[in-house]
Amino acid sequence: MADVVTYDRDGDIAVITVDNPPVNALSLPVRQGLAAAFAQFEADSKAKAAVLICAGRTFIAGADITEFDKPIEEPWLPKVVAQMEACSKIIVAAIHGTALGGGFETAMACHYRCAVPTAKVGLPEVLLGLLAGATGTQRLPRLIGVKDALDVMISGAPMPADVAHKRGAIDEIIEGELLDGAKAYARRLLSEGALPRRISEIVIDPASLPDGFFADYRKDMARATRGFFAPEQIVKCVEAAVSQPYSESVLREIELFMECMASTHSKAQRHLFFADREISKIPDVPKDTPVRTLETVAIVGGGTMGGGIAMNFVNVGIPVLLKEVNQEALDRGLKIIRGNYEVVVKKGRMTEAQLEKHMSMITGTLDYDALADVDIVIEAVFENMALKKEIFATLDRVCKPGAILASNTSTLDIDEIAASTKRPQDVIGLHFFAPANVMTLLEIVRGEKTAKDVIATSMAMAKTIRKVAVLVGCCFGFVANRMFFPYIRESQLMILEGVAPERIDQVAFDWGMAMGPNGVSDLSGLDVLEKVRNEWIDRPDDRVFFRMITKLVEQGRLGQKSGAGIYKYEGRNAVADPAVAALAKAEAKALGVAQIDINDEEIIERLFYSMINEGALILEEGIALRPSDIDVVYANGYGMARYRGGPMCYADTVGLKNVRDAMLKYRKRYGDLYWTPAPLLEQLADDGKTFDQWSRERA
């Protein structure tokens, strides 16, 4: 028996312990150990019942995901759980921490389940583009009911112990020490004459479901699961659980699990699972790098962005000084923050008392000298280099030694900003995404002279305020916006070429974006994009570039905030505007832009392949550490569906040769200003490799 699973006995109670740090994942040695331990339990005449428990901080937290793309090695989990359930003597699962995925499937194979009050159980496979393929989709509906089981599996959200107990997934809540309580519970069951209780023997009566239940459920889940492959397969599995004998429905589950596993969706979602964990690894900033104390924060600029940034700190108990230029601006900023919290109160996620406590942690000031003792200052004014340099020169004068001076700039040169101070080592970029109190991404921009402890502190701070932090290098637009510009550029050109903005957006939406490029431009503010264009010193020498945005801003059409931009707005509803089509036609004529027929495939290629090529240039220049870091940026900051895996993963999926060849096709039409393949893309396409392979070879 493998050392990761041990067998002991306390009188007539066998204790089977899994100890596979850090989260007791169901790796091959664990599965082998479980199979051997339960065979020993079955043969042990002195053992009347068994308790399955785990060492460390959690029960079995799931499968070993690193095994997913490898050939199955026996015993695989469905066989292990079948062996466990078939035991002639009762088995009690003792759960602490989290029993998720295969861990919960293992617990459901036990005949009874007990847990500490803080435990959670669930089947989150859908988050990896999978379904619970070790009988989970068959057992959970039998255990807690079809509707509740579907809700758990489609959302991927875990059930707290009290909820699981109420629904019947957990039989006993153990107060106090888990092992002692579990053994006592097992002995009580024996004294009551309890027999093995096998979930597989429960039959779901189809008549217990309302007519049209599954059709209605599909309609209800459609919006939340739009575009994803796995949710529909989960519903099919549960339909089988209702309509077929257990042995047949398990075969159906295995069939659909394999389809999910082979899908590009699951591969993309698993890619992001690992990418989300990889972003914290910075080669020249070791994990043990000392961090600076961050107990007080100041924000310079109390507008929508500055207020949203302030809320992130207040929400975790860190007080904030909010600096504005005059009382009117300060009052307006505080009002915006209060309004944001009032929305949360109306939704029932915060009390009025909590609102007031949060607001009490924000102190307004008009005086830079009030910032003298704060640990970090985050500048959040609009994108203007001269203004930012003036602010940082002032901060350099008033802030204490060792204070971190951060800019929320989304595009501008951190090194130039840092040069306005005498402490460039303390300067860093913290690019929050709007709305800052909602969006999870934080692009951390290191300057040439940024100190390593400032980087380490910023990464730790991001975790504290619950952000997904990606470290990037310094260039105009960094990673996020530098790759966003080609996306908007091609959308703008296609409008001039006669493609309706709403069609471009629909194609992008159907592909997997939360919003299309034109809707998101209006949401961001066309005036904001125009200011960015004007600040871009090295922008392309191209009269067509962002031409429609420039003309619309000149007409006062700034986007949603002005009621009209690329679209006109009825409330928040975007409506196609014939005036924009007329403007595009006139501008195209003035610029000599031909009207052409463009199919949906071309829309996708031009939007996303242009972005991918820019990503390849970014990787060559060392602005991003890894292709997967770029993917995390786009999955978390721009609403790119996780089933696409991010732009670089998507490029690997379609094949870099196909991306390169499409680039060459458009170069013939438009010239080489934008459509020359990046050298890295060219090389990988020639070699038949992927961005992922390139990254692994360099690691």
Distance CA 361, CA 341 (A): 13
Catalytic hit among 125, 324, 587, 605: 125
Same domain as 317, residue 226: no
Note whether 536 and 544 are within 8 A (CB).
no
Same domain as 644, residue 496: yes
DSSP labels, 83-140: HHHT-SSEEEEEE-SEEETHHHHHHHHSSEEEE-TT-EEE--GGGGT---TTTHHHHH
Start-to-end C-alpha separation, the chain? 35
Structural domains in the chain (count):
3
Residue 639 is part of a domain; what is its CATH number? 1.10.1040.50
**Residue carrying structure tokens 């089981």:** 149
Domain boundary among 262, 282, 315: 262
Same domain as 486, residue 468: no
Distance CA 345, CA 251 (A): 47
DSSP labels, 436-474: TTT--EEEEE--TT--HHHHHHHHHHHHHTT-EEEEE--
Residue 315 is part of a domain; what is its CATH number? 3.40.50.720
Provide the domain limits for residue 31: 5-262
Domain boundary among 262, 283, 318: 262
For the chain, the helix, strand and coil percentages under 3-state DSSP, each to the nearest 5: 55, 15, 35
Distance CA 693, CA 413 (A): 31
Strand order in the sheet with 468-472: 362-365, 320-323, 297-300, 376-379, 404-407, 427-432, 441-445, 468-472
Q: What would the two tokens of residue 693 be?
A: 């392979």
In a domain, 559, yes or no: yes
Q: Kindly calculate the radius of gyration of the chain based on its CA atoms and give it in whole angstroms.
A: 29
Distance CA 418, CA 406 (A): 9
Would the CA dihedral through 600, 601, 602, 606 be positive or negative?
A: positive
In a domain, 111, yes or no: yes
CA angle at residue 694 from 259 to 675, to 5 degrees?
A: 95
Distance CA 489, CA 494 (A): 9
Res 370: pLDDT: 97
Widest CA span in the chain: 92
> What H or E segment, with its residue span, contains residue 323?
strand 320-323
Res 1: pLDDT: 46
Same domain as 308, residue 217: no
**Closest by CA position to 462, among listed 434, 446, 481, 441:** 441
Same domain as 391, residue 374: yes
Give catalytic status of residue 105 as yes or no.
Answer: yes
Using the CB atoms, write b or e for 421-443: b if 16+ within 10 Å.
bebbebbbbbbbbbebbebebbb
Res 228: pLDDT: 98
Same domain as 499, residue 463: no
Same domain as 468, residue 484: no
Domain boundary among 426, 455, 472: 472
Distance CA 382, CA 385 (A): 9
Distance CA 149, CA 110 (A): 18
Distance CA 691, CA 13 (A): 53
Q: Give me the count of residues in the chain.
A: 699
Q: Which residues pair with 444 in a beta bridge?
A: 430, 471
> What H or E segment, with its residue span, contains residue 237?
helix 230-243
Res 2: pLDDT: 55
Catalytic hit among 105, 239, 379, 614: 105
Burial of 306 (C-beta count, 10 Å sphere; 0-12/13-18/19+): buried
CB-based contacts of 54: which residues, under 8 Å, 6+ apart? 17, 18, 19, 24, 60, 96, 97
**Strand-pair category, 568-570 with 573-575:** antiparallel
Res 535: pLDDT: 85
Same domain as 97, residue 33: yes
Note whether 651 and 612 are within 8 A (CB).
yes
Distance CA 174, CA 260 (A): 37
pTM of the model as a whole: 0.94
Same domain as 522, residue 503: yes
Distance CA 651, CA 159 (A): 36
CB-based contacts of 541: which residues, under 8 Å, 6+ apart? none
Note whether 131 and 125 are within 8 A (CB).
yes
In a domain, 586, yes or no: yes
Res 356: pLDDT: 96
In a domain, 267, yes or no: no
In a domain, 277, yes or no: no
Please count the other Cβ atoms lying within 10 Å of the Cβ belonging to residue 106.
29
Res 662: pLDDT: 98
Residue 112 is part of a domain; what is its CATH number? 3.90.226.10
Give catalytic status of residue 295 as yes or no.
Answer: no
Res 3: pLDDT: 87
Same domain as 128, residue 93: yes
Q: Which residues pair with 624 in a beta bridge?
A: 472
Same domain as 358, residue 497: no
Res 64: pLDDT: 87
Note whether 597 and 476 are within 8 A (CB).
no
In a domain, 288, yes or no: no
Tell me if residue 430 falls in helix, strand or coil: strand
Q: What would the two tokens of residue 54 be?
A: 């785990």
In a domain, 329, yes or no: yes
In a domain, 657, yes or no: yes
Which amino acid is located at 155 in the chain?
S
Same domain as 486, residue 446: no
Please count the other Cβ atoms lying within 10 Å of the Cβ belonging to residue 345.
14
Which ranges of the chain have pLDDT less than 70?
A: 1-2
